[in-house]
Amino acid sequence: MGQSHPPLRFTKSRRLIRGVRRWVTAAAGALALTGGLVAGGPQASAAGLTQVTAFGSNPGNLSMYTYAPDALPAGAPLVVALHGCTQSASDYYAHSGWPAFADRYGFALVFPQTSSANNANSCFNWYEPGDSARGQGEALSIRQMVDKAVAQYGSDSRRVYVTGLSAGAGMTANLLAAYPDVFAGGAIDSGLPAFCANSLSTAYTCMYSPPDRSPAQWGALVRSAAPAGTTSWPRVAIWQGTADTTVQPANATELRDQWTDVWGIGQTPTRTESLGGGTTLSVYDDAAGRPAVEVYSVSGMAHGLAVDPGSGPEQCGSTGTYYLDTICSSYHTARFWGLDGEGQGPGTGSLPAPTGLTVSGTTDTTVSLTWNAVDGASSYAVHRDGTKVATTTSTAATDTGLATGTAYGYTVAAVDATGTAGAVSAAVTATTTGFTPTCHTASNYDHTVAGRAYQSGGSTYATGSRQPMGLWNTFTTHTLKQTAPGYYVVADAGC
């Protein structure tokens, strides 16, 4: 990459910090998850930034900085931007290009900042459960910043977005999973799947050799982090350089698998496009035909944030350590979120989303659905797991030819007289009858990743039955028998 990477000392523990420092010294040239080196260390302020000192209990011990254009109207969007390791709010403000688009499109910015008091390299602690889970640590501090900024600027709480680089991207993914009710969209730049790591050692594993889990396993990590009953998910942009040796490009694939699974859509792109800077864009549409997940692969780019200095309408930012001259990621991300007034903003469909989607009946091979009528709809498109399976002029449909004992996700969109689908409804899950029990033998950790168990306080419990299974680790192994959809019992004695 032509430059050395400052080692990332993730932990808050001084003893472990010293241990990692000795390890790095012994392993010269070792790489770590860093966002960029700022000469003289993190800086606290920059022209245009305003520090906000009272924004809540701040359990994560973070600092809050904001930027907003003059005469910003009420109801404008809000973007939260997370710096990388050894960076600062002012550094990210100066290089990322986000302030220019805040001025152009009209939205407020929040730049959270961590420090060496939290982490030796001023990294957001994306791998620490106590800092990245909902309602805890740094994640809660950032949530409190959102509340403060929404109140201060009169922002539209339905249009709050989060983006981050490197360690900030790892935290971004976790925030999207833990707070899907807060963030309408996110951008993960040179980052990792949500809740890939829960310790220092697994953080390095995720960075250099990410686990090759199934989409369902990755998706389960998001669903388990989100509030129970969540049916609406953020739209996610994934940015990754093909020459990144700090966060391996395979992470982008695992991220794609994770968020397409959460959305209930497949892993085959709806379409691909060639952009500037050697960038290939792969788009994954939702059931209504709107982009839900986008993957930007930048050929030859190393670890960093893609910028493109210049005065052109699609250019932005300035180069620096880990700010790489390729393509303006902030421009394309802003457009993906609909901040330019087109595309993704709420209510952009020709018709509103149908309400009241309900499973009215199931058999071994069928699912019946009903929903409320939408004014102006000439028909309705019914989608199963992201694929259209029916078009009907009524407000009811029956899906046939299904497998027994299987869960399916359904959404409905109203279609106008021109054949254009409007916004997609909230999803519902239906499970056909005739369930066949299955058995699974694995470690407590793998059971949890697969959704067959859950962990609480370091211990593992079977999903549904809540039977105790011992410590949450890779060494303790059990056999679980699934006796009903979402219900498992310990069956070590025989299955």
Residues belonging to the active site: 166
55-84 burial: b if 16+ Cβ within 10 Å, else e: beebbbebbbbbbbbeebeeebbbbbbbbb
Number of other CB atoms surrounding residue 361 within 10 Å: 12
The one-letter amino acid at 266: G
CA gap 485, 481 in Å, rounded: 11
- Say how many CA atoms lie within 13 Å of 307 toward its Cβ: 23
CA gap 219, 242 in Å, rounded: 24
Hey, what are 243's tokens?
């020459």
CA gap 43, 66 in Å, rounded: 15
Number of other CB atoms surrounding residue 91 within 10 Å: 26
Q: Which CA distances in Å does 378 have to 128, 176, 281, 317? A: 50, 35, 33, 46
CA gap 19, 421 in Å, rounded: 57
Residue 255 main-chain phi, psi, to 5 deg: -60, -45
Number of other CB atoms surrounding residue 275 within 10 Å: 16
Q: In what order do the strands lie in the sheet with 108-113?
A: 50-52, 63-67, 108-113, 78-82, 160-165, 185-189, 235-241, 291-298, 279-285, 271-275
Say whether 189 sits in a helix, a strand or coil.
strand
The tokens 């419990």 sit on which residue?
Answer: 461
Hey, what are 161's tokens?
């977005």
Torsion of CA 432, 434, 435, 437, to 10 degrees: -170
Q: Which CA distances in Å does 160 have to 66, 74, 79, 290? A: 14, 14, 6, 18
